[in-house]
Amino acid sequence: MSGDTIPNTELQLRENIHVLQGLQPEMQDLKNTVAEYIENVQNAILKRRADYQRTLSHLKSTETKLKSEIKMNKSLRDQLIQDLSNEMRRRDELSVKYEEMRVQQENLELQELQYSKQLADVENKIAVKLREVNEQRNKAKNQTTLVNDKLFQFEQLLGLSIENCLTENTNSGDEGEDANTETEQIKFTFRNVDPNDFSREVFFVFDPLKAEIVFSNPELQPEVLKKGTQIFTETKEIGFMWKFMRFSLQEKLVSG
């Protein structure tokens, strides 16, 4: 029985070897396929690695470029911030300057308004003074030109005569030359004043433009002339003035 078993095992082994030998071409094909697959995988890995290296290099180049751009943009940003700061500072300075100029303009306008008011006041005062002077001059002229019975009595009894006279004034011109002007004044002449000589004449001269007594003969003290002028200024009556002056002139003659 053991003799029958050994040949069957050998036969089976031979069959297995034969089958194995029959599978060798397929195994070789499989081996070739596996080798080809491994080669393809390796090539794919190498290709991917090369692509990765190229991509990485490109990314590094892009990163460097971006960093350079970021640095440049930061520099531009800093410059823009500085320019904006300078512009704001200039704007603030201009605002302050404008405010100062506005205040100066308002002050100038206020001063101009004040000066205009002052000038108007001065012009009004001048106009009033001119009216007063004209009124005094006209009044004096009217009183000298009105010849009535009372004046005739004064002329006969007191020896009073009133007449207009022209007084020549010498003023220095713009080029140093003398310019002669004439001023119309009023001369009051008295007779019957000197007790030793009733025919002797004394007089005083009144300037209607200035409204003051400017001269007398015989010469009286300035305060006397001023007093006569004051009487006319206060009373606006020329009669009171010449009465005071006649008395002052007579007193001058008597006192010697």
- Average pLDDT score over residue span 77-81: 87
Note whether residue 193 is domain-resident. yes
Q: What share of the chain has pLDDT > 70, as a percent? A: 81
Note whether residue 125 is domain-resident. yes
Q: Which residue range is the domain that position 108 belongs to?
A: 104-158
Same domain assignment for residues 211 and 246: yes
The β-bridge relationship of strands 161-172 and 202-207 is: unpaired
Same domain assignment for residues 154 and 133: yes
Tally of domains within the chain: 2
Which residues face 202 on adjacent strands? Answer: 190
- State pLDDT tens for residues 157-174: 667 888 888 776 655 555
Same domain assignment for residues 246 and 163: yes
Same domain assignment for residues 216 and 163: yes
With 0-12 CB in 10 A as exposed, 13-18 as middle and 19+ as buried, what is 44? exposed
CA dist 23 and 254 (Å) reads 186
Note whether residue 214 is domain-resident. yes
The beta strand positions in 65-220, using DSSP E, are 161-172, 178-190, 202-207, 212-217
Q: Classify residue 220 by its DSSP letter.
A: P
* Residue 132, both tokens: 């007063």
Same domain assignment for residues 163 and 228: yes
Please list the alpha-helical segments (H only) found in the chain: 2-145, 149-153, 222-235, 238-255
Same domain assignment for residues 239 and 199: yes
Note whether residue 211 is domain-resident. yes
Band (pLDDT 50/70/90 cuts) for residue 231 is very high
Note whether residue 79 is domain-resident. no
Same domain assignment for residues 134 and 163: no
- Average pLDDT score over residue span 98-114: 87
- Whole-number mean pLDDT of the chain? 81
Same domain assignment for residues 120 and 194: no
- Average pLDDT score over residue span 44-66: 85
Note whether residue 191 is domain-resident. yes
Note whether residue 173 is domain-resident. no
- State pLDDT tens for residues 11-51: 888 888 878 777 778 778 887 888 888 888 888 888 888 88
